[in-house]
Amino acid sequence: MQYLKKAVVTPGSNEQETRNITNDILQNIRQNGEQQAIDYGKKFDGWHGDIVVDQKTIAQAKDSLSQQLKDDIQFAHDKVSSFARQQLDSIREFECELSPGVWAGQKLIPIQTAGCYVPGGRYAHVASAIMSITTARVAGVSNVIAASTPKPEYNGIHPAILYTMDLCGADQILAMGGVQGIAAMAFGLFTGHKANILVGPGNRFVAEAKRILYGEVGIDLFAGPTEILIIADGDADAELVAYDLVGQAEHGVDSPAWLITTSEKLAAEVIERVPHIIDALPEEQRQTATESWRDYGEVILCDNDEEAVELSDEYAPEHLEIQTGNPDWYERHLKNYGSLFVGEETTVAFGDKCSGTNHILPTRGAGHYTGGLSVHKFIKIVTTQKADRQANRELATVTARLSRLEGMEAHARTGDIRLKHYFPGQKFNTGIEG
């Protein structure tokens, strides 16, 4: 394989600085409580208003939006909730008899409280509210707390985000972003409910806060800057490929956009087109995408399809597009990715906004071991077991022997005592010599 364009920076270059800053903020809020979180909100977001959003404010946000926008939000919500319900239907509770007198099963127990973070910085991420809150609700979460960055120019949370949070079923909404928003949900500030799980995308400080808190609370996944990888061959449309790469590059200055191709001609065309597409963007997006493509963009030429699959699986990208003449072959062979987009007729932006699949996905190689946010993240799949007394003949004797093999005598005796109680006077081979 040959790198026709190579990234000059790797994600995570400022990890230690991010970790130190985030840890300090979390510890200060943990020690000093709500007022400390409020003070950070004033410092970082310039917000001096109420933290818990009331129904009057939500109603005003709803009234301020056009009917077209509300219809579009409803469209996306319906698609995401429909897909989430299908996911929920794919898992079930059951009980089975593994051997005579031994029953085992699984129960599905929704998490009690979910904290859903919705980015509200540079962009109004209404889709992120849909992806997290809607999915939690479909999963059956009892209490959903949502938090997003307030902006003085909106007199609080962006009205479209606020409307969407309410539409999707948030029980409490906090006008608090960044690390302080994550801390408020994790520590139960302002609501009295500690989140059992924290979900949702955010900047590097939000992602680091979730990483630090993992274990104390659950999280959806370890996330970094958004990524796109496109596998394309000579049959692909270079313009579509280039636009899709730029579509993700505008997310942030550290958002990787990768192209793997078996066609040197396509590679050259894409490399030529991308700067022109970026130059035509509005100024803010142009500056972001320029830095992202310059520092993190890559174009790799592979000798064949097998090599392309091998390299893609090594990258394990968050978003993976297939624009080739044989997409079905690639779909069968690819293993590591967050979400797959098959054929030029679909694109990452569809999944990001409204097609139905979730856009909260693994980055930075996490696609090797996990998928994205789903109803499964909000449900504990726990096991149950029952046994009758006759089943103890086998269960207790095998348990006793295995426990003694491992040197765990107290374990063994929990089997011994049942044999003694249920089958008095009978002899069993429990691993005791003599």
Question: Would you please indicate which residues are annotated as catalytic (active-site) residues?
Answer: 318-319
The residue behind tokens 């022997």 is 401
Distance CA 228, CA 253 (A): 14
Distance CA 325, CA 236 (A): 7
Distance CA 255, CA 111 (A): 32
Q: Give start and end residues of each alpha helix (H) in 91-177.
A: 126-129, 135-139, 159-168
At 176, list the tokens. Answer: 């608090």
CB-CB contact of 178 with 206 (8 Å): yes
The residue behind tokens 């056009």 is 66
Q: Give start and end residues of each alpha helix (H) in 126-258.
A: 126-129, 135-139, 159-168, 178-187, 204-213, 238-249
How far apart, in Å, are the Cα atoms of 134 and each of 102, 139, 167, 258, 319?
Answer: 39, 9, 9, 31, 21
Strand 218-219 relative to strand 102-110: parallel, antiparallel, unpaired? unpaired
CB-CB contact of 61 with 200 (8 Å): no
φ/ψ bin of 280: left (φ > 0), alpha (ψ from -120 to 50), beta (otherwise): alpha
User: Coil, strand, or helix at residue 394?
Assistant: helix
Distance CA 110, CA 139 (A): 6
Strand 102-110 relative to strand 94-99: parallel, antiparallel, unpaired? antiparallel
